[in-house]
Amino acid sequence: MKKFFLMILSVLLVLGIIAPVSADETYTIKVSAPNGAPALSVAPLAVENPDNYTFLAADTIPAEFANKTADFIIAPINAGAKLYKAGKSNYKLAAVVTWGNLYIASQKADFKLEDINGAAITLFGENTINASVVLYALAENGLVPAQTDYLAGAANTQSLLLSDANAIVVTAEPALTAAKMKNENITAYAVNDLLKAANGFDGYTQAGLFVNPETIENHPEAAAEFLTKAEEAANLGQNDLNAVAEAAVALEILPNLKVAQTAIPNCAIRFAKAADVKDQIEATAGIDLSQFGGSVPSDDFYYEAK
């Protein structure tokens, strides 16, 4: 009887009536991301399968590339490019998912960007691509501060913004939204608007989705399926903001729905295949090549689905 059953099963498989289970159908994609604004791009996916997503401190991202345990990593594009150039990562850039969440803000009465001229401005992250982008945007728009100071992160400049009525700072979403909820006198201007005036691009290539080449080789169908879902998730904020906001709060990426609903639209989250926006990636690199390892990324840095 057992032999007869096996014979029937073999015939059905040959005829295609019963399809064999592909290895990709049982493979689980693992994703790592910094626990901040870039994680919002995959929040709708992560909230459905939280065990498959790891949210990390930003300074541990280089180690995550070295470990090679994640199938996909969300990370600053310049960091991934620098590691790739140095031979410390073989992850390829599949997509850009965030395009700049930086803002210049002050609680000064009638604060205008022209007030930066001859004044002090406090940025965060000295010798980072974010700082370089801000300084480039200011210079290209004829805005010349008399003094440039630095603090460690956006939370630090947020604190200064709230505590000093005369401070002009660079901060980022969602820290800006949280500050404005505490002080309605804060006025803010998007650095992306200055960038568009300078080079015509909508934002800059800030964070990207990197793919492990071993995943592409061993589980191509699973990788392709995830990229499709990642594109849908990253673009969800444009047509279902509440779904993204609820996911962000559930995952503790953002503190509450009010902050999430206000901040997410200002985080410039959208999905674009890396190979399709290579010119914009190179334009961002050109602002400060040292942040990309001294040159624009090589062609083999980009992943292009076949």
Q: What is the pLDDT along the chain (306 residues), one digit of tens a residue?
A: 434 333 433 433 343 444 444 456 689 999 999 988 999 999 999 999 999 999 999 899 999 999 999 999 999 999 999 999 999 999 999 999 999 999 999 999 999 999 999 999 999 999 999 999 999 999 999 999 999 999 999 999 999 999 999 999 999 999 999 999 999 999 999 999 999 999 999 999 999 999 999 999 999 999 999 999 999 999 999 889 999 999 999 999 999 999 999 999 999 999 999 999 999 999 999 999 999 999 999 999 999 887
By three-state DSSP, how is residue 245 classified? Answer: helix
Between CA 10 and CA 13, with CA 11 as vertex, the angle to 5 degrees is 65
Instruction: Name the CATH superfamily for 23-99+205-301.
Output: Periplasmic binding protein-like II (3.40.190.10)
Q: What is the architecture of the domain spanning 102-199?
A: 3-Layer(aba) Sandwich (3.40)
Coil, strand or helix at 98: strand
| Count of alpha carbons within 13 angstroms of residue 250, beta-carbon side | 15
User: What is the CB neighbour count within 10 angstroms for residue 285?
Assistant: 23
Structure confidence at residue 122 (pLDDT): 98
In the chain, where does the domain assigned CATH 3.40.190.10 lie?
23-99+205-301, 102-199
